[in-house]
């Protein structure tokens, strides 16, 4: 069974540019989460999809970040325009639906974003 | 506000030692607690998940305990090996109405031969 995959693994962009990160969850996992770790800080939650619906987006830092999950499969996280403080590692995770919160969240390898 | 702290921040031990990593959280109203390891440049690998009703979970040389009332969890690694070198993270699932994991800052472990 394939794990959570993320693309690209590393992205370097200039301030003001746009970047789109992609996450493919484990097949059949209806829950999809985005987290990020900025330099020297702990990993922090960004948002949670259940299928194609946003369940919780309380961690999204501002309106420069837009997450989508059309069709309830893969998800994208767009940062537009990127700022220096957006640099960090963006993780995606997924888990099955049902037996609420009894399941582990399975994490992808992350996308390292560097804004120069 | 839930805060998760991990002590020590870094640990270096010789191969073969048994060791304990600590995780503490400020709000005991958690649903579960998960331990992860992260290898340099890699993603997070889930090690153990403890539900709030459980006291411990074991997987191979790893044993995680949970004391909700005191806000503590420990990860015990028996007979450490160089391959155990990684950063270990604990994360709590806060309550019944959210799937948001709250992470600690991690313990960076190095096991030398």
pLDDT per residue of chain B (113 residues) written in tens, 0 to 9:
889 999 999 999 999 999 999 999 999 888 899 999 999 878 899 999 999 899 999 999 999 999 999 999 999 999 999 999 999 999 999 766 678 899 999 999 999 99
A48 Cβ under 8 Å from any chain B Cβ: yes
Looking at residue A62, its pLDDT comes to 92
What pLDDT score was predicted for residue B16?
97
- The pLDDT of residue B95 is 67
**Contact call for residues A5 and A24 (beta carbons, < 8 A):** yes
Residue numbers in chain A where pLDDT is lower than 50: none
pLDDT of residue A97: 82
Contact B43 A4 (CB under 8 A): yes
Collapsed DSSP state (helix, strand, coil) of residue A33: strand
Nearest Cα neighbor of B22 from B11, B31, B12, B38 is B11
Q: Does B81 touch chain A if contact means CB atoms closer than 8 Å?
A: no
State the pLDDT at residue B42: 83
Predicted confidence at residue A84, as pLDDT, reads 96
Q: Judge: A101–B31 Cβ closer than 8 Å, yes or no.
A: yes
Give the residues across from B59 on adjacent strands: B62
Closest residue to B100, CB basis, from A6, A42, A48: A48
Beta-strand relationship, A111-115 and A88-95: antiparallel
Mutate which of A101, A102, A112 to test chain B, going by most B C-beta atoms within 10 A?
A101
Facing residue for A101 by CB, picked from B4, B91, B93: B93
Residue B99 to residue A56, Cβ atoms within 8 A? yes
Distance CA B87, CA A90 (A): 17
Query: Using CA atoms, how far apart are residues A5 and A24, in angstroms rounded to an integer?
Result: 5
Q: Which residues of B touch A4 (CB under 8 A)?
A: 43
B101 Cα to chain A: minimum distance (Å):
7
Interface test with A, best of B101, B104, B107 (most A CBs within 10 A): B101
Decide if B54 touches A, using CB distance below 8 A. no
Tokens of B88: 């270990």
Residue B17, min C-alpha distance to chain A (Å): 28
For A19-32, the pLDDT digits (tens) are 999 999 999 999 99
């Amino acid at each position: 069974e394939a794990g959570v995959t993320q693309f690209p693994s590393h992205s370097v962009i200039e301030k003001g540019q746009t970047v789109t990160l992609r996450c493919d969850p484990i097949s059949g996992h209806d829950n999809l989460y985005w987290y990020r770790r900025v330099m020297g800080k702990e990993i922090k939650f960004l948002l949670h999809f259940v299928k194609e619906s946003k369940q919780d987006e309380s961690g999204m830092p501002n309106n420069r970040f837009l997450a989508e999950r059309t069709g309830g499969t893969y998800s994208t996280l767009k940062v537009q325009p990127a700022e220096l403080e957006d640099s960090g590692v963006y993780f995606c995770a997924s888990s099955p639906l049902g037996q609420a919160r009894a399941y582990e969240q399975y994490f992808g390898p992350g996308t390292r974003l560097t804004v120069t | 506000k839930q805060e998760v702290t991990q002590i020590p921040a870094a640990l270096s031990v010789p191969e073969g030692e048994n060791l304990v990593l600590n995780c503490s959280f400020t709000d005991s109203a958690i649903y579960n607690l998960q331990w992860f390891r992260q290898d340099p440049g890699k993603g997070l690998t889930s090690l153990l998940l403890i539900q709030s009703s459980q006291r411990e979970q074991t997987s191979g040389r790893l044993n995680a305990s949970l004391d909700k009332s005191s806000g503590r969890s420990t990860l015990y690694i028996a007979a450490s090996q160089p391959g155990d070198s990684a950063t270990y993270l604990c994360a709590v699932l806060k309550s019944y109405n959210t799937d948001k994991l709250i992470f600690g800052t991690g313990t960076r472990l190095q096991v030398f031969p």
